[in-house]
Amino acid sequence: MSEPTHQTASAPAKCRICESEVSEFLDLGRQPLSDAFLKPADIDNEFFYRLAVGVCGTCTMVQLVEEVPREKMFHEDYPYHSSGSSVMTEHFASTAREFLESELKSADPFVVELGCNDGIMLKTVSDAGVRHLGVEPSGGVAEVARSRGIRVRNDFFEESTATAIRSADGPADVIYAANTLCHIPYMDSILRGVDALLGPDGVFVFEDPYLGDIVEKTSFDQIYDEHYFFFTARSVSEMASRFGLELVDVRRLPVHGGEVRYTLARAGARSATPAVAALVAEENARSLSALPTLESFASNVARIRTDLNALLRRLRAEGRSVAAYGATAKSATVTNYCGIGPDLVDYVCDTTPAKQDRLSPGAHIPVVPAEEFSRAYPDYALLFAWNHAEEIMRKEQGFKESGGKWIFYVPTVHVV
């Protein structure tokens, strides 16, 4: 079993933004790669690391204290497809339309998406005849994007990549990233790349899970190997200023359990909207990045672990059947931190073919096709994909009509 090098007490973690010391406040223990769904024969070679989170006392950036090599997470067989959700499909189509109506109005506009996945956002841009490029390191989803007519560079984005793109295609009017920037520890190279590629009046727009929502909802499953940074308006503003950029707009988004869309521009190129100051003020009033606030969050996380494990054990003792719904990346944090295995949950159903007939990371719960859920409904379903609850519960009316009950663990453990 492969193990990475861990931080030690004598060598505290250093902030990846400003090199200051990071104060650890939450340890979620030994965790597997969150998207590494296993064939039974691969169990003995499973990779584990320590999942812990800290906050920088200088720039306030919340971040993991241990980095997982990027090649282990994003590769040819990366299983997540953005187009798997109808809600997200519409979200990205709407985002593309906004860009087309605002930032992409010049004679020959150019947009670059970092982590374009299967091309769901760029498809709308491509259909409008606008020059575009997706940068996607995972070969499988990059190929899906190409099959949809999207121009894709199968690569990691960093300063050298940006320089090569600028040389071949000229400056970008929009650089966009969704659920991607928070994955990348080497932010210095990313933002130097943005500086190299962005046009004088261009914007860098990215959206990622928001620390404020994670703390408020105790949605600790947003913490896993692929989420290295947990952004706030304040920490993004601090980060941007170190690279000649400025935070000029923020927008709260309801997707993925609560995100913020951040818009950066070159310093002095645009005036910041009132929304920026308002969100920073809200964060300061909540003491969102203060260590006592984050330590209180960690205590709430421990309470969820105790309550969820106790509920599942009680249901098993009563002879109830329990399945899980949605083999999400974030479910790996829940199952491994809370000690949930096939002794407590019979299976996880999921619509993604690449995850089916495999075992969940670390916990080794069987993953089955979504159709199995309705063949013989369980008594209870643990909803890992809780951020898509409305869409799923609308789809699974038959489960409710059969007497089935949903188990949620955000913001607290409860049954619906």
Query: Counting every residue, how long is the chain?
Result: 416
pLDDT tens-digit profile of 368-392? 999 999 999 999 999 999 999 998 9
Residue 243 pLDDT > 70: yes
| Greater pLDDT, 361 or 1 | 361
Residue 77 pLDDT > 80: no
pLDDT of the residue at 3? 38
Distances (CA, A) of 374 to 52, 259, 349, 381, 404: 37, 32, 10, 12, 11
Which domains are delineated in the chain?
82-292 (3.40.50.150)
Residue 184 pLDDT > 70: yes
Vertex 185: Cα angle to 190 and 191 (nearest 5): 15
Residue 5 pLDDT > 80: no
pLDDT of the residue at 68? 87
pTM: 0.91
Residue 83 pLDDT > 80: no
At residue 10 the predicted structure's pLDDT band, cuts being 50, 70 and 90, is very low
pLDDT tens-digit profile of 261-284? 999 999 999 999 999 999 999 999
Alpha carbon dihedral 335, 339, 345, 348, in 10-degree steps, equals 20
Residue 82 pLDDT > 80: no
DSSP 273: P
